[in-house]
Amino acid sequence: MIRRQVTEIPPVKAEVTEHQMIGRRCICGTVTWGRAPEGVTAPVQYGPRMAARGVYLWHGQFLSRDRAGAAPADMFGCAPSPGALAAMTAKIAGLITPAIDAIVAALIAAEVAHFDETGFRVAGKLAWVHSASSGKFVLVTVHAKRGTAGMDAAGVRPAFAGIACHDAWAPDDSYHGAAGHALCNAHLLRELTAVTETGTADDVIWARRAIDALLELKQATEAARPRRARPPRRGSPGKTRPLVPRRSRRRDSNQRRPPRQAAEKAARPGHPDARPRGRLPAIRQ
């Protein structure tokens, strides 16, 4: 029987690289160094899955940074510090840049894309979340400005040449390079529903009929879609017209405030947000 003694030896700084962890010497004199997994460059370091979970809780589920760091302590027995969580976020933000570039390119080339924005709090101040989506491609960005400055910063609208679907806000119609503009029926249905809840008896009648007509059109379109594989026909960019006359394109006043404040004020009887929205009279006509 041959016995070999394996003893731990102190690492020699001149021989240790950033990937080498522990060295052990066999009785034959050979020293074998352990190697860390790919991406690990420190003696103690959180792995990619823990980093992804922490960033997801912070930015995906909107927990505070302290709570996002405390949650892994209850689930896994380790609690990243706020500074470690911030470093993880910065690193992941750099890693996803190629994916964001691919999403932007796909949205620019899409035949039809949907655009919207809503209020969002950043460091206690009002900012704006801008969204652009088409099929499986979705881009969500946050900007201090609500209008064209925020849209341009996302990188899609200035180069987009397809059909832009939105809620007929005036800055959306200012992009003349689009082949056409389509009114977002989700916004329209929401406003028609508000009319049925707050409007006069005559308003309720026409609003309900409009809702029924839109839903029947949607069902008819979905039923005919397998037989109509042709893409939407593009128009002339120089001849596009606004969806709603300029005099009727008053933006929803509750969108000028953060969503929570808007809900509280809109609940008051007689508040302007309880009246039919600015674009609905034009649609009724």
Model pLDDT, residue 263: 43
Chain segment 90-100, per-residue pLDDT in tens: 989 888 899 99
Maximum Cα interatomic distance, the chain, rounded to a whole number of Å: 100
Alpha-carbon distance 199 to 205, whole Å?
10
Model pLDDT, residue 6: 44
Chain segment 117-154, per-residue pLDDT in tens: 999 888 889 999 999 999 999 999 999 999 999 999 99
Which residues contact residue 118 at a Cβ distance below 8 angstroms, ignoring those fewer than 6 apart? 128, 129, 255, 259
Alpha-carbon distance 204 to 207, whole Å?
5
Model pLDDT, residue 24: 87
Percent of the chain topping pLDDT 70: 72
The pLDDT of 197-216, averaged and rounded, is: 92
Whether residue 84 has pLDDT greater than 50: yes
Which residues contact residue 193 at a Cβ distance below 8 angstroms, ignoring those fewer than 6 apart? 207, 211
Buried/exposed code over 128-163 (b: 16+ C-beta within 10 A; e: otherwise): bbbebbbeebebebebeebeeebbebbbbbeebebb
DSSP reduced 3-state for 29: coil
Confidence of residue 169 (pLDDT cuts 50, 70, 90): confident
Model pLDDT, residue 278: 47
Q: How are strands ordered across the β-sheet holding 31-35?
A: 7-8, 20-25, 31-35
Buried/exposed code over 81-115 (b: 16+ C-beta within 10 A; e: otherwise): eeebbbebbeebeeeeeeeeeebbebbbebeebbb
Model pLDDT, residue 197: 92
Measured CA angle at 266 (ends 140, 278), to 5 deg: 75
Chain segment 240-265, per-residue pLDDT in tens: 555 555 544 444 444 444 444 444 44
Q: Are 10 and 24 in contact (CB under 8 A)?
A: no
Whether residue 75 has pLDDT greater than 70: yes
Higher pLDDT, 261 or 163: 163
